[in-house]
Structure 1
Amino acid sequence: MKTLFAPYIEVLRPQHHASIALGGFLARVPAAILGFATFLLFQRTTDSFALGGLVSGVVIATGAVMGPVLGRLADRHGQRRLLRIFAVTHLLSVLLLVIAGHAHVPALLFVVLAGIAGATVAPIGSFTRARWSHRYGDAPQLKTAFALEAILDEMVWIIGPAVAALIAAAVDPAVGLVLSGACGFAGSLILAAQRATDTPPHEPDTEVRRPGFTPLGSARLMAVLIAGFVVGVSFGVDNVSAVAISQRDGVPELAGVILSVYSVGSILGGFVLGALPDRLSPFRLFVATALFLAVAFAPLAFAPDTIWIMVFGFFAGAAVTPYTVGANRAVEALVPRRVVTEALSWANTAILAGMALGGPLGGLVVDAAGPRAGYLAVSGLCLLPVLVALTAAFGSRRARPEDA
């Protein structure tokens, strides 16, 4: 057991490193709670699930769109200034959202305010991964640090919505929103205070004109992003299928349990990967984790009922965080360090965009052919990233692009 924990202790032991993890964990909370808590607040005030879903979708969409923009600003000017600005603006936007919800403002105004709140959620996962990249470069500890980040992602997404739902039932959905904003405020300020770990700014050079960064400029990076998009679609279809099969079996209350089982498996899978020796190049790791994802999700297509979905779901979940680590490690190695935050933000946006499409797509499949068809689609979709990963690996034999 000590051997498993040793790599994580090594990563967190240096001064300021534990603060990256703590600040990053707290600052991630809005990403996990905001959309769900906003849905609960608006649905309760309007008694409309459709409008609540619309508002939640706007929150997620604006956050996904703004992620690469904020990543680019962080690469150019450093994270500290952005974190302080968005710590304040996000908290204020959340408070306005709470006031609007209880004042029963017109739906359009509430949607606009929800969009502003979503747009002020900084891409903390990209920020903290960029800090680890700055600290460790190409050292083996970077894989462990990325595994730690993926574990923190999963923990927030397990705890956050559950706490928001509990608070909404016991007190008021608005309290969950305020708690989310407060955590984001505190976490962002903790990260902003860690100057020693901040990524150095890369101001545009007036003498040497560099082309602006775009994912379209690298076929290899686009391959990784396309793989992430497909994985996101499969996750969206999977979420709908979990609800559908639990309702079909007369146990709708187990839908949340199914997703929690995935997350527990994901945390354990990421923990083990981070503790293993770093013997694969970033691209081989990406291929290996994509293959693991395809194999782990395949049995879901043959699960006869909810209980077996939970059994297979645990093993499927165990492949999710390793895939995330492999994909982020590949992206980090594909781009110059001066744009690493923006590139990692694009990776996150690709998955979110896929999930946004996967939800309605999964609904169409399930409505037409039932939950088994949904899980068959999930298993089939998870095969595609393997092909994309192989393409990226064979086309990625050059060293990291130069910053100059």
Structure 2
Amino acid sequence: MLTMPRLAVLAAMLIASVPALAATYDAHYRVEADPAVGNLRVELKLSGEQLPGKLVFSIDPQRHRNFTSTDSVEIQGASVTWRPRGKYSRLHYDFVVNHERAPGRFDSLMTQDWALFRADKLVPRVRVTAARGLESRATMEFQLPAQWTAVSAYPTTSDELMQIDDPERRFDRPLGWMLIGKLGKRSESIGGVQTIVAAPAGDNARRQDMLSFLNWNLPHLLGVFPEFPRRLLVVSAGDPLWRGGLSAPASLFLHASRPLISENRTSTLLHELVHVAMGIHGDGESDWIVEGLAEYYSIETLHRSGGISEQRYTEAMERLAKWGSSSINLMSEKSSGATTARAVIVMREVDAEIRSLTRGKASLDDVARELARRRGEVSLELLQATAQKIAGNPLKSLDRATLSGQTAKPAPTP
């Protein structure tokens, strides 16, 4: 016979074994543009029956300023701790848009007519302490000057609210590129991907050219990466922005002066699209894998789409092989131009070896697809294991000693 204390213990065990029901609260981002001072004023409003107990933001003190709240907020260097109370709380701060990536070249900029920036810089990284099962339901709106509009990688509701959803986290934080201001844009569905190309009105960005280029090539990239985001934003502008391409979740930036296909048969636009598709980053020695795959598929996609001929494809690979021959050791934290060139040749060798071992039933596409499915950090060991699983044998083309420029040690004399 169970006594009352034992019944209480049993009841507690049963309650603990039942998964907590998911509960939600609203997180609403309101962003007001002030081009006169180059700032965006951010308000984060939380509301619901239950709110997180603490949010700790990792800020850049030079760009995130003037924090205030309806509840407790503590600022210590690069850390801001916000403790919401009750069923309703607000946090306010200023975000300095302008940021130089190189002297005189900006990767975030605000003018009198527009602003280009990363949403994940606008809202800094945050650690949230909340009850088990408690999740946010987030939206974002912009308060803009007359004739200004906003575009992002997020869908917009009929009342101009962006729906922010990050399924990997319980607290939704906006990510990717955003462009606000007096804009010109083109939009089209390509292979099931809602594709938007946007630039400031009057800028020399080739919006229609980029959209046509994507119509031609994106379907071939989707053949390798079927889990590509269903919505893609490409933003572009000219000087004084940084003269290159930069990827982010479901979005990318391309300087207006960059050609769609370079003289060496590579494409910055396709290169950054591969980064969007794969969502991977290297460990301390594997950036060559990330950059090598992106450059390989930028050329390979052009080849498959007919954008370059077989002869020009071969010439491109020969040039890369010559350039990459000076990179003896691929293992480094940051891949240089020569290292990336050699990495492309390694990827081509991996493709050929897999095709040979599987009698054409598999290729590098299968490896890249699996890495894109996993996302996150990639290493040589992960690449080796993934390729071996697909090919059925270890690959000679991924031997560490060869890739790092080491020579095999002679066997000891008996």
Same fold (TM over 0.5): no
Mark the structure with the bigger radius of gyration.
Answer: 2
Higher strand share: 2
Structure 1 length-normalised TM: 0.24
Structure 2 length-normalised TM: 0.24
* Higher RCO structure (Cα 8 Å, ≥6 apart): 1
Higher helix share: 1
